[in-house]
């Protein structure tokens, strides 16, 4: 089967860069398949699962919104996040804990800021006398 | 002449503070390195997005899209302005917070109808205190600039913009330039067509590219991505600037602590010497008066 070059970029770096025989992804108006020599196209990418075929084997990847740039010799896929289908649960748990940590940090940060400012003022007061 | 014990106490106090400033210097430098590495990992993604938007704009007829055109027809007096102000969460970074807050205040004063979205505790507390129009539900810290955080922030602002609650959005942040940290202002919404640069001319692109389902739909998905990228960029730039400022502030404190210790050690030695001299002259004087009595 003819192959083409596939590059998958996520915000934390390049997720995949190599040959691919067949790519299937979701767009806002349905699922689309791309094989080598496809007509040039830029297509919106919907959140969901994409599949790409390498050496007769399908790889499944969960992606969030982005877009796909299809050129006859190469395809580039851009998504906010790209995670292997098997690792989705892990990824979810990590993002949830990151969100919780941010809320806690915000609460603490305000408190700390006020506290340090007050103790600085107290210390300056002591110094003068 | 100061008391010897007093000088000794001061020296040990300064030495303790010096340990802290030195540690803070090291922490900031490692945080700076980490943030830079994350930033560089994302570059291919955003460079390509810029290039694609440029491509979309170049190869389609001018079409109107909310991301470019919302609120454009409103008279200036009725426009609602949004300002995202990125400051630090903590002090101890020289004039970093002061500079950004003053700069922001001057910018915001240009428009009556302005709402402030403060990222970073120092800025938020300042603007709340002077009674500015601060969004109180918009609570984000600037520590640990991750893409997830940038996404949450960008999506909130994008929604405000699309629903017409904001007509123009600016971001005020700090960037490292030659000669130090410089406050900057950048427009977030509406997007400007000429801002998207064509990157990577080596990659061949075809004039007859189709946009599926439509150029409009492609912009629908690309618009928020551009916004997220911009927010992530300014968060990281500010974070780097903050830590750079903290590094130079802490470096300066460590140096002056060292100078103070040298000065105080000198004083301590003088005081000690003076005390010894005095003691000896007292003993000699005492012995002399004794021997004179005997004679």
CATH number of the domain that residue A21 is part of: 2.60.15.10
Q: Name the band, by pLDDT with cuts 50, 70 and 90, for residue A127.
A: low
Domains located in chain B, CATH noted: 4-20+251-294 (1.10.287), 30-249 (3.40.1380.10)
**Helices and strands, number each (H, E), in chain B:** 6, 5
Q: Name the band, by pLDDT with cuts 50, 70 and 90, for residue B295.
A: low
Give the residue numbers spanning the domain of A110: 95-128
A15-19, B82-86, B131-135, B218-222: least confidently modelled range: B218-222
pLDDT of B226 reads 84
**Above 90 in pLDDT, residue B286?**
yes
Same domain, A75 and A101: no
Contact A113, B121 (CB under 8 A): yes
Q: Name the band, by pLDDT with cuts 50, 70 and 90, for residue B201.
A: low
Indicate the number of domains in chain A.
Answer: 2
* Number of neighbours of residue B17 by Cβ within 10 angstroms: 13
Mean of per-residue pLDDT scores for chain B = 86
Mean pLDDT of A39-57: 89
Same domain, A74 and A111: no
Same domain, A71 and A15: yes
Same domain, A100 and A70: no
Between B245 and B292, name the one with better pLDDT. Answer: B245
Mean pLDDT of B3-24: 92
Helix (H) or strand (E) holding A16: strand A13-20
Between B9 and B221, name the one with better pLDDT. Answer: B9
pLDDT of B200 reads 54
Rounded CA separation A46/A65 (Å): 5
Same domain, A26 and A63: yes
Same domain, A75 and A106: no
Size of interface A-B (CB pairs under 8 A): 118
Q: Which residues of chain A approach chain B closer than 8 Å at the C-beta?
A: 9-14, 27-29, 32, 39-45, 65-67, 69, 71-74, 76, 78, 80, 95, 98-99, 102-103, 105-106, 109-110, 112-114, 116-117
Same domain, A76 and A121: no
Between A52 and A12, name the one with better pLDDT. Answer: A52
pLDDT of B103 reads 95
**Above 60 in pLDDT, residue B262?**
yes
**Chain B: closest CA distance from residue A8 (Å):** 9
Condensed to tens digits (0 to 9), the pLDDT of residues B60-87 reads: 767 778 888 777 777 777 888 999 999 9
Where b means 16+ CB within 10 Å and e means fewer, B56-90 reads bbebeeeeebbbbebbeeeeeeebbbbbbbbbbbb
Q: A interface mutation test: which of B51, B121, B128, B230 has the most A CBs within 10 A?
A: B121
pLDDT of B145 reads 86
Percentage of chain A lying above the pLDDT 90 cut: 27
Condensed to tens digits (0 to 9), the pLDDT of residues B147-173 reads: 888 888 999 999 999 998 899 999 999
β strands within chain B, DSSP E: 81-86, 114-119, 168-177, 180-189, 210-212
Same domain, A13 and A67: yes
A60-64, A118-122, B55-59, B238-242: least confidently modelled range: B55-59
**Chain A: closest CA distance from residue B271 (Å):** 23
Same domain, A78 and A109: no
**What is this structure's pTM?**
0.81
Between B43 and B170, name the one with better pLDDT. Answer: B170
pLDDT of A103 reads 80
Residue B261, burial from CB neighbour count under 10 angstroms (0-12, 13-18, 19+):
middle
Same domain, A73 and A123: no
Contact assignment for B211 to A28 by CB distance below 8 Å: no
Condensed to tens digits (0 to 9), the pLDDT of residues A73-121 reads: 889 898 888 888 888 888 888 888 888 888 888 888 888 888 888 888 8
**Chain B: closest CA distance from residue A32 (Å):** 10
Q: Name the band, by pLDDT with cuts 50, 70 and 90, for residue B197.
A: low
**Chain B: closest CA distance from residue A113 (Å):** 6
pLDDT of B28 reads 93
Same domain, A81 and A101: no
């Amino acid at each position: 089967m003819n192959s083409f070059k596939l590059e998958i970029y996520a915000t934390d770096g390049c997720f995949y860069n190599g040959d691919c025989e067949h790519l299937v992804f979701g767009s806002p108006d349905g699922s689309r398949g791309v094989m080598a020599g496809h007509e040039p196209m830029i297509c919106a990418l919907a959140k969901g699962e994409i599949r790409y075929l390498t050496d007769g084997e399908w790889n499944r990847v969960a992606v969030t919104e982005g877009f796909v740039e299809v050129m006859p010799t190469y395809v580039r896929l851009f998504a906010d996040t790209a995670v292997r289908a098997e690792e989705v649960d892990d990824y979810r748990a990590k993002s949830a804990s990151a969100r919780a940590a941010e809320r806690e940090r915000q609460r603490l940060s305000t408190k700390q800021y006020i506290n340090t400012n007050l103790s600085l003022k107290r210390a300056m007061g002591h110094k003068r006398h | 002449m100061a008391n010897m014990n007093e000088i000794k106490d001061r020296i040990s106090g300064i030495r303790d503070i010096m340990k802290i400033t030195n540690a803070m210097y090291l922490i900031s430098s490692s945080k700076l390195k980490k943030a830079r590495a994350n930033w560089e990992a994302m570059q291919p993604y955003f460079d390509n997005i810029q290039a694609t938007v440029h491509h979309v704009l170049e190869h389609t007829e001018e079409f109107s899209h909310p991301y470019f055109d919302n609120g454009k027809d409103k008279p200036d007096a009725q426009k609602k302005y949004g300002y995202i102000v990125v400051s630090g969460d903590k002090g101890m970074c020289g004039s970093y917070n002061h500079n950004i807050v003053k700069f922001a205040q001057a910018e915001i004063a240009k428009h009556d109808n302005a709402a402030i979205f403060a990222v970073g505790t120092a800025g938020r507390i300042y603007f709340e205190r002077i009674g500015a129009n601060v969004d109180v539900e918009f609570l984000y810290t600037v520590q640990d600039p991750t893409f997830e955080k940038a996404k949450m922030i960008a999506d909130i602002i994008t929604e405000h913009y699309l629903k017409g609650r904001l007509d123009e959005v600016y971001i005020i942040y700090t960037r490292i330039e030659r000669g130090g940290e410089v406050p900057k202002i950048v427009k977030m919404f509406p997007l400007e067509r000429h801002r998207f640069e064509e990157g990577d001319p080596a990659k061949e692109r075809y004039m007859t590219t189709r946009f599926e389902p439509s150029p409009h739909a492609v912009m629908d998905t690309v618009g928020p991505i551009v916004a997220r990228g911009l927010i992530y960029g300014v968060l990281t730039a500010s974070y780097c600037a903050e830590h750079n400022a903290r590094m130079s502030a802490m470096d300066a404190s460590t140096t002056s602590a060292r100078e103070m210790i040298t000065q105080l050690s000198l004083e301590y030695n003088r005081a000690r010497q003076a005390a010894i001299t005095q003691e000896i002259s007292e003993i000699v004087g005492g012995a002399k008066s004794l021997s004179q009595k005997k004679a």
